[in-house]
C-alpha cells in the first residue's frame, strides 16, 4: 500500500518537474526575444544618433542662417526620437531581465521537484527490497527516504 501511495505522489512530482522545466524554457525564450527587440531598438537609437551628428555637422558647416535653423530642427527632432527609442529599449531590457529571473526561479523549482521524485523512487526501490528481504531496517530506511522526498516536494511547492 505504501509503495502505491509513494508511486502516485512521485508521478505528481515528476509531472510538476516537467512542467516547471518547460516553463523555464519558455521564459528563457521570451527573454531572448526581448533581448533581440532591445538590441533592435538600440540599433535604431544609434542610427538616429548618426543622423543627428550629420545634421549637427551640416548645421555647423552651413554659412546661411536660414539653413542652420532647418538643420537645428532636425537635430531637435532626432534628440526627441532618441529619447523615445531609449525608453522603449530600456523597458525591453528590463523585461528580458525579468524573464531571465523567472526562468531561473522555475529551474530552481524544477530541480527541487526532480530531487523529490528521485528520493521517492529510491523509497519505492527500498520498499521492494524490504519486502523481499523482510529487513526491518530497510523498511525504516524506506520511510526515511520517502519522508525526505515528501519534504523536498513541499519545499518545491513552496518555492524554497
Q: Please name the helix (run of DSSP H) or strand (run of DSSP E) that holds residue 135, with its range, or none.
A: none
CA angle 27, 41, 103 (to 5 degrees): 10
Q: How far apart (Å, rounded) are the C-alpha atoms in residues 103 and 5?
A: 31
CA distance 17 to 108: 10
Describe the chain by its helix, strand, coil percentages, rounded to 5.
Answer: 95, 0, 5
The pLDDT of residue 43 is 97
**What pLDDT is stored for residue 42 in this prediction?**
97
Long-range contact pairs involving 138-146 (C-beta distance under 8 Å, separation at least 24): 142/2, 145/119, 145/120, 146/2, 146/6, 146/119, 146/120
- What is the pLDDT, as a whole number, of residue 65? 84
Distances (CA, A) of 133 to 6, 43, 117, 123: 20, 70, 24, 15
Cell of 25: 524554457
User: Is the CA virtual torsion 77, 83, 89, 92 positive or negative?
Assistant: negative
Q: Rounded to two decimals, what is the model's pTM?
A: 0.77
* Domain residue limits at 153: 2-157
pLDDT at residue 107 in the model: 94
The total of structural domains in the chain comes to: 1
pLDDT tens digits in sequence order for the chain, 160 residues long:
888 888 889 999 899 999 999 999 999 999 999 999 999 999 999 999 999 999 999 999 998 888 899 999 999 999 999 999 999 999 999 999 999 999 999 999 999 999 999 999 999 999 989 888 988 998 899 999 999 999 999 999 998 8
Amino acid at each position: 500500500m505504501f509503495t502505491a501511495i509513494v508511486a502516485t505522489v512521485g508521478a505528481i512530482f515528476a509531472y510538476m518537474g516537467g512542467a516547471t522545466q518547460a516553463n523555464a524554457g519558455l521564459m528563457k525564450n521570451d527573454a531572448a526575444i526581448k533581448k533581440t527587440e532591445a538590441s533592435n531598438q538600440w540599433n535604431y537609437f544609434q542610427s538616429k544618433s548618426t543622423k543627428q551628428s550629420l545634421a549637427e555637422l551640416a548645421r555647423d558647416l552651413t554659412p546661411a542662417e536660414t539653413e542652420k535653423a532647418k538643420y537645428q530642427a532636425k537635430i531637435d527632432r532626432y534628440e526627441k526620437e532618441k529619447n523615445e527609442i531609449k525608453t522603449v529599449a530600456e523597458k525591453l531590457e528590463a523585461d528580458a531581465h525579468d524573464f531571465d529571473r523567472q526562468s531561473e526561479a522555475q529551474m530552481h523549482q524544477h530541480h527541487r521537484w526532480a530531487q523529490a521524485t528521485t528520493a521517492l523512487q529510491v523509497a519505492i526501490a527500498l520498499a521492494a527490497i524490504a519486502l523481499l528481504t523482510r529487513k526491518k531496517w530497510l523498511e525504516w530506511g524506506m520511510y526515511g527516504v520517502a519522508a525526505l522526498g515528501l519534504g523536498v516536494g513541499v519545499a518545491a511547492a513552496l518555492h524554497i
